[in-house]
Amino acid sequence: MSEVTDQLEPEQALEADLETEEALDSELVARRDEALAHVRKFGDPILKTKARPVNEFDAALRAEIERMGGLMRDALGIGLAANQVGVLNRVLVYRVQEGAPVAALVNPEVEWRSSMQETAEEGCLSLPQVHVDVERPVHIRVSAQDGFGAPIVIEASGLEARVIQHEMDHLDGVLILNRTSREQRKEATRALREWQFRAE
């Protein structure tokens, strides 16, 4: 409880806490909606466009990474690729654990994939209200660069591996709709058309 609610009767304190929680929730929703307004959605041709390798590791690139990380956090996402925010650079950011620092990969390349595959449901900030089953390798090793151009290697498993592969797909102009079954793709496309109609 806050210092104010400590001085109230239990019922009043509970009401005050609920009001504070609702205010926080509405702030969170407003921040999420504002962030999502910057994310390109289904139908935007940039989502099907292959991003270009980054050659300039300057302050502008690091500012882009910082902006992407902020948008991803505010949108309550766990990964974001540059072309999702209208920039055709091979840059992605992700964070799979609450409170962990945002990781950025520039010019990522998969060096190795495990033969072991796993199917799990995936959603996407660019495909509102869509969740489809996608099969991906469970373990991967990725080489990339950081915002200063220094080489890095990531060995990832489970959710981290899935998120990196999802975002790397974006950099190649590939959506989860291209990775799922025909039935789920048809259902998801119908849901997206309905969402577009309501949004207009």
Active site members: 167
For 109, what's the count of Cα atoms within 13 Å in the CB-facing half-sphere?
8
How far apart are the two ends of the chain, measured CA to CA in Å? Answer: 42
Token pair in block for residue 95: 């964070």
Contact in structure between 165 and 122 (CB atoms under 8 Å): no
**Contacting residues for 130 by C-beta, under 8 A, at least 6 apart:** 42, 123, 124, 176, 177, 188, 191, 192
Residue with tokens 């789920």: 184
Tokens of 168: 């790397």
